[in-house]
């Protein structure tokens, strides 16, 4: 399986950053929408296949199943083509450090891709996960609703994510996007589709299984939890004997806690994880050092 060396990857990512900075506003927004939707679809898949697995019985297997299928979102982003802000938190600093783009080229791409990601994530959360009834689907015993496993799962997830303190959310964001940026980097190194898929799967599975925080994924998970948790059918179920017995959680997450407790610190952590620990470090190792050698050789000549 052919692959590129790290220095070649660094050079390719610089060129990718230049192309991203040159994208028109409308195309960046559309591609950002697609990336948010793709990550959200991966999240919906993860909820559907793991939400009904009782963790009190299977323990961390539920999380492993969730993590094992979630990477399909990034696969669609990289292979089909889309603008994912968390990946661009790595590409744009590399191009900036190489002086191929300016600061405007960084923030233009980041802001537009991030906005598109948010719209795409919310679209999938509301229309494809909530309005379809997939997350509110009950498990019945006869005519009685015995469980609402997917609803309880996503509400519990939203509650947990918004209950983190600021620094917990920030550092989980750092760890997450260090791995996500490495997944994108490794995908660049592969020359075929199979290689890209294999390279991406492991780091993405790892960040999800560990419990790190991804800002774009949370644009799907937390709003979906808020939509579901406020649904009259779910609220009524939480107050029944069955709901109490199955520990269906009452929604505690709000739009305010979504933005203040999670999205803001996680986004900042994602920028540091990708921009510093991958983009800047690999620029320093593979590109800055090469420039310095070239300067020394030219002076010696």
Average pLDDT, the chain: 94
Whether 300 is covered by a domain: the verdict is no
Q: CB–CB of 179/49 below 8 Å?
A: no
Q: Is the dihedral of CA 157, 163, 168, 173 positive or negative?
A: positive
Q: Which residues contact 275 (CB under 8 A, 6 or more apart)?
A: 89, 90, 92, 93
Q: Is the dihedral of CA 229, 161, 69, 272 positive or negative?
A: positive
pLDDT given for residue 95 in this prediction? 98
Whether 301 is covered by a domain: the verdict is no
Domain count, the chain: 1
Average pLDDT over residues 122-140: 96
Which pTM value belongs to this model? 0.94
Residue 85: pLDDT band by 50, 70, 90 thresholds?
very high
Whether 99 is covered by a domain: the verdict is yes
* Residue carrying the six token digits 């220095």: 7
pLDDT given for residue 9 in this prediction? 96
pLDDT given for residue 294 in this prediction? 52
Average pLDDT over residues 264-293: 91
In a 13 Å sphere around the CA of 132, the CA atoms on its Cβ side amount to 13
pLDDT given for residue 293 in this prediction? 54
Q: CB–CB of 108/118 below 8 Å?
A: no
Domain of 192: which CATH number?
A: 1.20.1080.10
pLDDT (tens digit per residue) in 38-71: 999 999 999 999 998 887 777 789 999 999 999 9
pLDDT given for residue 295 in this prediction? 47
Q: CB–CB of 178/274 below 8 Å?
A: yes
- pLDDT at residue 182 above 70? yes
Give me the torsion for CA of 93, 97, 99, 105, rounded to 10°. Answer: 20
Between 52 and 299, the more confident residue is 52
Whether 273 is covered by a domain: the verdict is yes
Collapse the DSSP code of 59 into the 3-class scheme (helix H, G, I; strand E, B; otherwise coil) and give the result.
Answer: coil
> ∠ at Cα 73 (67, 79), nearest 5°?
130
Average pLDDT over residues 103-123: 98
Q: Residue 207 belongs to what domain range?
A: 6-295
Token pair listed for 262:
């999670």
């Amino acid at each position: 399986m052919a692959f590129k060396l790290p220095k070649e990857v660094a050079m390719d990512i610089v060129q990718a950053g230049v192309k991203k900075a040159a994208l028109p506003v409308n195309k960046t927004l559309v591609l950002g929408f697609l990336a948010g939707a793709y990550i959200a679809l991966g999240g919906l898949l993860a909820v559907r296949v793991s939400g009904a697995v009782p963790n009190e019985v299977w323990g961390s297997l539920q999380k492993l199943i969730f993590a094992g299928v979630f990477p399909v979102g990034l696969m669609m982003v990289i292979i089909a083509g889309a603008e994912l802000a968390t990946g661009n938190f790595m590409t744009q600093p590399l191009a900036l450090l190489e002086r191929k783009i300016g600061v405007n080229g960084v923030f233009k791409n980041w802001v537009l891709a991030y906005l598109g990601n948010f719209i795409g994530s919310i679209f999938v959360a509301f229309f494809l996960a909530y309005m379809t009834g997939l997350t509110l689907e009950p498990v019945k015993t006869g005519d009685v609703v015995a469980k609402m496993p997917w609803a309880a799962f996503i509400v519990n997830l939203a509650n947990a994510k918004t209950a983190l303190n600021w620094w917990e959310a920030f550092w989980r964001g750092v760890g997450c996007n260090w791995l996500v940026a490495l997944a994108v980097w490794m995908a660049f190194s592969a020359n075929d589709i199979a290689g890209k898929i294999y390279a991406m799967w492991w780091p993405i599975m790892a960040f999800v299984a560990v419990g790190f925080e991804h800002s774009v994924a949370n644009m799907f998970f937390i709003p979906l939890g808020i939509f579901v948790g406020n649904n009259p059918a779910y609220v009524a179920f939480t107050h029944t004997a069955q709901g109490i017995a199955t520990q269906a959680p009452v929604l505690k997450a709000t739009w305010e806690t979504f933005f203040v407790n999670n999205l803001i610190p996680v986004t900042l952590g994602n920028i540091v994880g990708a921009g510093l620990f991958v983009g800047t470090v690999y620029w320093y190792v593979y590109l800055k050092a090469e420039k310095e050698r070239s300067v020394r050789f030219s002076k010696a000549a």
